[in-house]
C-alpha cells in the first residue's frame, strides 16, 4: 500500500504544479498547447525516474560535500539523453520547447526529489516516487496546455473543434497565469472536499 501512496501523491496530494507550486517556469513557458505540455511532462518524467534510480543506487558512494553537484551531473546526463533523442526523433517538439529542455537540469522538482527522496530510500521506492511525481507533473502540464489551447484557439492536441480563434490571450503568457490560477483553485477545492 505504501508504494501506491508514493505513486499517487504526485497526482493528488502533492502535485508538483497544483499543490506544491514547483516548476512554474516550464509550466507557464511550455503549455501554450496540449502537445507541448505533454512533451515537456514526459521528458521531465523520464529524467526524474532515471535520475532517482541512479541517485538511489549510488547514494552511499557520494561524499556529503559533493552531494548536490553529483546529483546535478547525474540529472544533466539524463537531460542530455532526452535532448538528443527529441532532437533526432521529434524535432518540431524539440524546437517548440526550446530552452526549457536543458533547463530540466535545474528544475526544482527533479533536484528536490533527488535530495528529499532518492538519496534516502531504496531503488524501487525511488523509481515509484519519480514515476508518480513525473506523471503528476505531466498531467498538470497537459491539462494546463489543453485548457489554454481550447480557450485560445478552439483546438486540442492540434485538432480544431470550431472555426476561428476564441480568446488569443489564453495562448499568451497572461492566459497561462489565468488558467493556472483557476486550475489551482479547482484542485485545492477538490483536495479539501476529499
Mean pLDDT on 55-77: 95
Contacts of 152 (CB under 8 A, 6+ apart): 32, 165, 166, 167, 168, 169, 170, 171, 172, 175
How is residue 21 written as a grid cell? 507550486
pLDDT tens digits, residue range 36-49? 999 999 999 999 99
Each residue's pLDDT tens digit, 132-148: 999 999 999 999 999 99
Q: Model's pTM, two decimal places?
A: 0.91
In the chain, domain spans: 2-193
Amino acid at each position: 500500500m505504501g508504494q501506491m501512496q508514493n505513486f499517487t501523491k504526485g497526482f493528488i496530494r502533492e502535485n508538483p504544479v497544483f499543490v506544491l507550486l514547483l516548476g512554474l517556469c516550464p509550466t507557464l513557458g511550455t503549455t501554450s498547447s496540449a502537445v507541448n505540455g505533454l512533451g515537456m511532462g514526459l521528458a521531465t518524467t523520464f529524467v526524474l525516474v532515471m535520475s532517482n534510480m541512479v541517485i538511489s543506487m549510488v547514494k552511499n558512494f557520494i561524499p556529503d560535500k559533493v552531494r548536490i553537484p553529483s546529483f546535478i551531473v547525474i540529472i544533466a546526463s539524463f537531460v542530455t539523453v532526452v535532448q538528443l533523442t527529441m532532437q533526432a526523433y521529434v524535432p518540431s517538439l524539440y524546437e517548440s520547447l526550446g530552452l526549457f529542455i536543458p533547463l530540466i537540469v535545474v528544475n526544482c522538482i527533479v533536484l528536490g526529489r533527488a535530495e528529499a527522496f532518492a538519496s534516502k530510500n531504496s531503488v524501487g521506492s525511488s523509481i515509484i516516487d519519480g514515476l508518480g511525481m513525473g506523471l503528476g507533473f505531466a498531467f498538470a502540464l497537459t491539462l494546463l496546455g489543453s485548457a489554454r489551447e481550447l480557450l485560445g484557439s478552439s483546438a486540442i492536441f492540434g485538432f480544431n473543434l470550431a472555426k476561428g480563434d476564441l480568446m488569443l490571450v489564453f495562448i499568451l503568457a497572461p492566459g497561462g497565469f489565468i488558467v493556472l490560477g483557476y486550475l489551482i483553485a479547482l484542485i485545492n477545492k477538490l483536495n479539501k472536499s476529499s
